[in-house]
Structure formats: structure tokens, C-alpha cells
Amino acid sequence: MTDQRRVTRALISVSDKSGLIDFARGLSSHGIELVSTGGTAKALKDAGLKVMDVSELTGFPEMMDGRVKTLHPKVHGGLLAIRDNKEHAGAMATHGIRPIDLLVVNLYPFEATVAKGAGYDDCVENIDIGGPAMIRAAAKNHADVAVVVEPDDYTAVLAELSQHGGSTTLLLRKKLAAKAYARTASYDAAISSWFAQTLGDPAPSFRAFGGKLAEALRYGENPHQSAAFYRSPDQRAGVATARQAQGKQLSYNNINDTDAAYECVAEFDPKRTAAVAIIKHANPCGVAEGENLIEAYRKALACDSTSAFGGIVAVNRTLDAEAAKAITEIFTEVIIAPDATEEAIKIVGAKKNLRLLLAGGLPDPRAMGLTVKSVAGGLLVQSRDNATVDEMQLKTVTKRAPTAAELNDLRFAFRVAKHVKSNTIIYAKDRATVGIGAGQMSRIDSARIAARKAEDAAKELKLPASLTKGSVVASDAFFPFADGLLVAIEAGATAVIQPGGSVRDDEVIKAADDHDVAMVFTGTRHFRH
């Protein structure tokens, strides 16, 4: 395999025309013949560049609205022919096939078309056929052909051509080929996922996921693990869409925790209330509603100020100066908000290492989508948990129904429970968490831990009693026994929200009735492993 290959002819057909003209001029300066198609050819000609239309190369006109223009032996033969193979060279001579040494193709914007909510026919029309075929052909023949699939690589190609007298090196061609196959894989993944969605098929025979590198990370969850962050075609508002206004690079754990924080705070409609979620290790350590962000933040922080140290803060409204000042009073890793005032940005800016992410909106907690988890030898794929307590028919199962105030807190607590690792127990009062038990192997332990953390918070705040006194309690799944409920009642809970569905529901309901505690069933479980 020869290391350097002289580029004599380039075929260029791009949807994204950024940097195109300068790149093409750079190619021409090395005496490289330009062949192009459709709108790309017009753009090059309008810039004063000499261009051969692909129809001149193939001897065949573009047809069928451009669907058939590069699907021709003179194109694919020029890409696939092994230059040092005498038989291939003979076939090229016999059939008048000219070598194509550089292919520059970026694909029809299928992902963007889907993201903007286009109709079925528009999406289908934006499925590229000739582009992926040429990319795969050129990448396979990387011993002789260089393939470029995005403008980001224009500079590297021109640099090599300048350094090596109009030639590319094998190392560059290999790197470009690897990227090319990854690009077509990601593209096909987006198309197949779209088809599965349009067909309502939750379990297609083959499933693929793709994304584009956002950034390589210093390491993963731990320093001995490598990591990178990829953006998927899904335009869900959050860490992937956010503009980082300031602060050092995000870590793997920062990204994971920030995503958890923003998904949690998005449960609270900003038109109805201000809300703040403080997250540590992907679990809320304080969530609250308020008349404004500063009130919500103070209530959330009061739940567990110890765990909040070094945490992630998510807000559901534009970050204002007052809230920014309060949040920056303790060590915080990341703040994420839909937007921020200039004054708030300036306040956060005084903390050089504090990251401020402006997501441009809130994710819709009701939107459909998929989540993916790797297991040994496979992937677990499921639909996103888009159930919200607002749509649930709450059923009172005890003699006493909750009061209006209790019902408001019960709904609040169940919103939060959805975003806490199972087994989950949430104590809430006045639309704020006052005790959170997360990730325990038994529900009774979660209830105990949440109550104990509430006691610790009360001591920190110098309160006469734990805020669990007169609180409500939420459980992400049913109480398998009455013991966990009794712990919550002992802590001071007066009302309970849980899915129900245990074989011992009657036993649990009786325990509530015996203590004049109101209980409602949601019929919906929020396991979060």
C-alpha cells in the first residue's frame, strides 16, 4: 500500500456549503480538476472556478429530480478502482473511466429535516442515496482515495496537499475513511429510528444509535476511564443544546449530573411557578417551588445544604441576579438555566471555574423518546418515562382524603420522586423537599435515611423540630409492607402518594387509616435504577 497518493481529480457534492469556495480554490491551486453536481457546481462556477459537471464525466444527464446523477459506473469505477491493479487499470482504459482521487460529500440534511418537524414526504426526500454510496466506496478504497464528509476536515486536507506536493498520506486517508463509515452509520441510524417511530414499532429487528462528537473528555466517571460526549440528532433542550457562557470544561460527571438536574426541574412549568433543583451524583438533594428563583433556591438548599456543596443547580426560568448571587455563595459545579440576565452572567463570571450553561429552553417532560443502557453483549432500550402526575387519576384509598394543601404537596413530591434513584422516599412540605432517601435496597431504609437527613437539616437550620412533622411522603413504587409507611408516619408525615399495586395494599391502607393518614394511589410507578 503506497503511503502518498497524488490527487488529480476531486468530486465535490455537498449540502453544507460552508467553507466550500475557499476549499475548492485551494484544490485548484494544486492543479486538481473539479467535478461537481447540481447546486454545488453552480456555487463553484459562480465563484469563478472551472468545474466539470458530473453529467460530462458520466455521459448521462441528471434525472428524476436529482435522484440519479452519481449512481454510475464512471463515478463508482473512478472511486473503487485499485490503482496498482492491472486488471482494474485495463477496465478503466476500456470503458473510459477516469480516477477520482478525492471525494467531498456531506449528506442531505435528513436529521435536521426531522428535527424541524417536517412531514413524511419531506423526510423521505431528504434521505441521501448517492452520497452514502460514494462515501462508502471511497472509504473502502482508502488506499488510493481520500474522502471528506464534513467541512471540519478541509483544513487538514489542504495542509497535506501543500506539504506533500498535491498528495495525501495513507494515515490521513485511513482517518478520513474511519470517520466516513461512522458518518454513514450515524446517518442510517437516524433514518432507521425515524422509520421505527413513524411505524410505532417499539422493537425493530435491528436498532442503531448515532451521534456526532461534541468533545473528548479528560476522563470518564473515574480517571482511569476514557470518555467522550456525543450529540444525537434529538434536539431536546438541555446540556447538549446549551451554550456554555463561562467556566472550565465540563467533566463526564458534570454532564451526567447536569442532565439529571435539568430533566428534574423541567417537571415544573415556569408559567406556573419558579423551581430549582440541586443535584448531586444524579440524585436531587433539594428541590423546591417558589414565587421566584431566590425563594425556590433557598427552600431547596435548606433540604440538604451539606450534599448541595459541589452540586449542580438547575432553574426553570431565566437566571436573575438575585438568584445568581445566592447560588454562588457556596461551591457549585454547574448552573443550568433556559437563559440568564446580563447581570446574572456577570455575577457568575466572578467564579472562574463555575460553569454556566444556557440551554435556550426547557425539555418537555411529556415528550416521547428513547433511553439506552449498555449491558454485557447488548443494549437495553426503552421509551422515556414521560408520565407526569398532572395526567394521573389520583385515587384516595383511605378514610380520610388529603386536604388541598396536602394534595398540592403530594403532587410536588411525586414529580420529584420520578427523578430520584430507586428505592425512593420523598418528604415534602410547602412545595419543597425536606427529606430525600435514594437508591437503597429496601424502601424502609430509604424512609429512615430521608427522615434522618431531615433531622440533620433541622439542626443545621436551628429549627425546634424536623420539617417532616406535618409533611407528605411520596414513594416511587408501592410499599411492599406497612413498615416503610410506619417509619414515614413516625417521622411526621400526614399524607402519602404511591402507585399502589402490592398484594399487601390492604395492610398498608389499614396502617394509614389507623394513624389518620390520607393516602392516594397514582397507578403509575417511577422506578429509576
Distance CA 88, CA 82 (A): 6
Sign of CA dihedral 478, 481, 482, 486: negative
Residues in contact with 320: Cβ distance below 8 Å, sequence separation at least 6, in sequence order: 292, 293, 294, 340, 341, 343, 344
Distance CA 149, CA 135 (A): 8
Decide if 281 is catalytic.
Answer: yes
* C-alpha grid cell, residue 464: 425546634
Residues in contact with 68: Cβ distance below 8 Å, sequence separation at least 6, in sequence order: 62, 130
Distance CA 481, CA 511 (A): 10
What are the strands, taking DSSP E only, across 67-110? Answer: 102-106
Distance CA 312, CA 261 (A): 7
Decide if 419 is catalytic.
Answer: no
Residue from 281, 325, 351, 469 carrying the catalytic annotation: 281
Q: What is the largest CA-CA distance in the chain?
A: 95
Residue from 17, 45, 140, 325 carrying the catalytic annotation: 140
- Scan for cell 473539479, then name that residue: 34
Secondary structure of residue 324 in the 3-state scheme: helix
Helix 73-80 with 130-140: angle, nearest 10 deg: 30
Secondary structure of residue 439 in the 3-state scheme: coil
For strand 332-337 and strand 283-290, is the pairing parallel, antiparallel, or unpaired? unpaired
State the catalytic residues.
Answer: 140, 281
